[in-house]
Amino acid sequence: MTLRNTETHWGWPSKVLHWLTAVLILIQIPLGFYAEEIKLSPLKLDLFVWHKSLGMLILLLAIERLLWRMTGTIPKTADASSLQRRLAQLAHATLYVLMIALPISGWIISSAANIPTKLFWLIELPAITGPDEALKSLAAEAHEVCVFLLIAILVAHIGAALRHHFIMRDSILKRMWF
């Protein structure tokens, strides 16, 4: 397994970062919906600590992925039309924007609600805004819209990967797997 990306394959750091981020996002989405739905209780508060902690971890991984991606080669998409390449680029760019926007909007929600953001019960992040009900509402609306956009793009992303693997029988999914 190679360290650096090549013209045809992703290196192991790209693969690890991709799949770790994917697993965390697939945990994060139902965790957020569940935590939002249950009544105020110690369980709800604990679930939100997990949700915020995983969100910040996703933010850090997204930044690391972007830095790694900018310093290396991005494998070429074989046998893809110009439209397919552009759609894939747009989807990937949007995924990166959402992996950054969702944790930041969540942090704004907590800060504007005057609720501390603690990472794994250990590290309290500073508030990035003072208490502000209007800002909290705006950030919550943005957070919700971004979650549903993320779900839609993930469905398309996963669907495209499966289409490439099972229908087109090309190496798109294989080269991102270990």
Local confidence pLDDT in tens for the 178 residues of the chain: 789 988 888 899 999 999 999 999 999 999 999 999 999 999 999 999 999 999 999 999 999 999 998 988 888 876 778 898 899 899 999 999 999 999 999 999 999 999 999 999 999 999 999 999 999 999 999 999 999 999 999 999 999 999 989 998 888 888 888 8
CB 80 within 8 A of CB 89: no
How far is 146 from 151, CA to CA, in rounded Å? Answer: 9
DSSP 84-98: HHHHHHHHHHHHHHH
Give the three-class secondary structure for 159.
helix
Tell me the CA distances in angstroms from 132 to 31, 71, 74, 139, one per residue in order: 26, 39, 42, 11
| Alpha helices, H only, the chain | 12-37, 42-70, 82-112, 133-162
Predicted TM-score (pTM) of the model is: 0.92
User: ∠ CA(78), CA(157), CA(52), 5° rounding?
Assistant: 135
- Write down the residue that tokens 């830095």 correspond to: 67
Report the candidate in 59, 55, 24 with the shortest Cα–Cα distance to residue 154.
24
Which residue ranges form the domains of the chain, and what is each CATH number? Answer: 12-176 (1.20.950.20)
